[in-house]
Amino acid sequence: MNAARFISFFTGFISLSLEIAWVRLYGYANMSTPKAFAYVLIVYLIGIAVGAEVGKRICGRLSNSSIKQSIIWILAIASPIVIVSPWLFYHSQIAAIDNLAVPCIIVINAASLAVLFPITHHLGVAANFGGGANKGVHFSRVYLLNVLGAALGPLVTGYILFDYFSIGQIFGLLGFFIAVVAIVTFFVFSGRGGGRSLALLPVLIGSIGALVLLQTYWKDPHSLVSKFAITNDQPVIRVHEGRHGIITITEAKSLNKNNQRITDNVVYGGNVYDGKTNVDLELNSNGLERPLALHVLNPNAKRILVLGLSIGSWLTVVEGFPGVEAIDVIEINSGYLELAALYGPQRRALQDSRVSVHVDDARRWLKFNPEKKYDLILMNTTWHWRANAAMLLSKEMMELVGKHLTDKGVLAFNATGSIDAFYTATQVFQQARRYENFIYAANWNPFSAAENSDAWGVLSRVEVDGKPGFPPETKKIYEFSKKPFYKIEGDLIGLDRMPEMITDDNMIVEYKYGRKIQF
């Protein structure tokens, strides 16, 4: 076995896996803002540079025998560092020193593995390791194995391990893998005069430390996520971690019309508010008048498209529109399907024979199904400042969605307060209005009729979970009808800048006008 190539491969694999694990954790802790990725990338690259410089100095000052022993020490120390670092991040945040501590923690994580990059290439050259004349060939093979490992890291960890393990367990597994590499390296080098007795100490310390720390992640797989969860002091009752993100559910309490306290769970996607599980139209703790307004704008809708299931509350509402014949739901994160099935109304809505659920990317599905046309399209968009939000709010996305509307079709999406999202809709569609924080757009004028409060009477026939959505004496429908549909001109009054078109390329809602996070 060529130990240099073996170490080079696995350090490349673990290093890139560790990087995407930090992107996931740091992004989650900072509410899925796009700048979190850039921040981790910059700091991690600094750590790689620092580690490479240290490795260079080791190669220049130590003998080959001492270098081999140093590799074992480095791996043995790196293992518990990787496992404990997320908790150091958490405690630094509690102590309000994370702005200083976190970059240091990430740099140490990156450097602890990057230090081996020059060392493995030094040992991999034939003149220094195993004999031979062609140094370039041996050097390039070590480099190739490192690149292959680095390429496999995001693939294996990002696409496979994230679907089966929590982020805490990922850090634990990576630390455990480092300990395994340390053990294998110890036995390889000890047979080549590497100093068995001296090298055994760090192997034992690192391995035992890794195993002790690793078991903490298996006792409570989601403990790390629960610690970083922003829940407004509400207890976390469910967590789902998968390749496409982290979903948490907290338990909140609301008062019904009889002033009785009822459970009203709150859903968070990527550590930001995503909605509520309650579908009581009279209680209306979930802002359900917004999807209900679609039925007012097009009361004869037969085909509906829902882009983004979330916990399924909005699907449960639109499924009860009279006359609906078919509903397509596109959701990229299958975790929402698992969580929605835990709630009776949402589960029964998903089981409705008229509902077809497609686990896919919305854009890809729309492009591959150009023949599909809908009377109503409801985009369950997230906060406009979150990473990748521009892919849902851009001109290109709205044009794509517009091709799937019938002549009397209406699009609705949550602009979450973004004037640029509203403006972009006005530039793509003939008509666009804002109702609360929702934007409704169409290539015809459905708003004139909706301005008449009598038009809202159609909501009295809406059902939720097979039962009438409103009691006969309800005043809610009248309250909904009194909320106006605003034109964009009213929102421009007092704005200190001109609105801008959102495109796939400029991503202004994420960066230029995105949420400001202090790093």
Please report how the helices 3-29 and 116-124 are oriented relative to each other, as an axis angle in degrees rounded to 10: 160
One domain, residues 250 and 347? no
One domain, residues 335 and 422? yes
Q: How confident is the model at residue 193 (pLDDT cuts 50, 70, 90)?
A: very low
Beta bridge partners of 467: 464
Q: Is residue 424 part of a domain?
A: yes
Closest CA to 407 of 445, 464, 355, 379: 445
Q: Which of 74-88, 134-148, 248-262, 368-382 has the lowest mean pLDDT?
A: 248-262
Q: Is the confidence at residue 239, as pLDDT, over 90?
A: yes
Element (H, E) at 245: strand 245-250
Q: How confident is the model at residue 418 (pLDDT cuts 50, 70, 90)?
A: very high
Instruction: Return the residue matching tokens 């989650």.
Output: 28
> Which three-class secondary structure string do you get for 82-128?
HHHHHHHHHHHHHCCCHHHHHHHHHHHHHHHHHCHHHHHHHHHCCCC
Q: Is residue 497 part of a domain?
A: no
Burial class (CB in 10 A: 0-12, 13-18, 19+), 451: exposed
Q: Is the confidence at residue 245, as pLDDT, over 90?
A: yes
Q: 146, 5 in Cβ contact below 8 A?
A: no
Q: How confident is the model at residue 194 (pLDDT cuts 50, 70, 90)?
A: very low
Instruction: Return the residue matching tokens 């074992």.
Output: 72
One domain, residues 194 and 244? no
- Domain that residue 244 falls in: 230-273
One domain, residues 186 and 63? yes
Q: Which of 88-97, 348-357, 373-382 has the lowest mean pLDDT?
A: 88-97
Q: Tell me the C-alpha distance between 210 and 180, whole Å.
A: 10
Q: Is residue 265 part of a domain?
A: yes
Average pLDDT, the chain: 89
Angle at 390 between CA 389 and CA 395, to 5 degrees: 140
One domain, residues 255 and 316? no
One domain, residues 194 and 340? no
One domain, residues 95 and 202? yes
Burial class (CB in 10 A: 0-12, 13-18, 19+), 62: middle
Collect all residues with Cβ–Cβ distance below 8 Å to 239 and sequence separation of at least 6.
166, 222, 225, 226, 229, 246, 247, 248, 249
- Would you call 162 helix, strand, or coil by DSSP? helix
Q: Is residue 500 part of a domain?
A: no
> What tokens appear for 498 in the block?
């001109």
pLDDT at residue number 232? 77
Burial class (CB in 10 A: 0-12, 13-18, 19+), 373: middle
One domain, residues 246 and 290? no
Q: Is residue 517 part of a domain?
A: no
**DSSP strand E in 352-435: where?**
355-358, 374-379, 405-414, 431-435
Element (H, E) at 65: helix 64-94
> What tokens appear for 472 in the block?
């006969």
One domain, residues 28 and 126? yes
One domain, residues 313 and 424? yes
Q: Is residue 332 part of a domain?
A: yes
Please report how the helices 35-61 and 116-124 are oriented relative to each other, as an axis angle in degrees rounded to 10: 40
Q: Is residue 509 part of a domain?
A: no
Q: 318, 327 in Cβ contact below 8 A?
A: yes
For 99-141, the pLDDT digits (tens) are 899 999 999 999 999 999 999 988 887 445 454 557 777 788 8
Instruction: Look up the CATH number of the domain holding residue 454.
Output: 3.40.50.150
Number of domains in the chain: 3
Q: Tell me the C-alpha distance between 440 and 434, whole Å.
A: 6
Q: Tell me the C-alpha distance between 30 and 51, whole Å.
A: 27
One domain, residues 205 and 252? no
Q: Is the confidence at residue 307, as pLDDT, over 90?
A: yes
Q: Is residue 432 part of a domain?
A: yes
**Is the pTM higher than 0.75?**
yes
One domain, residues 245 and 287? no
Collect all residues with Cβ–Cβ distance below 8 Å to 388 and sequence separation of at least 6.
34, 510
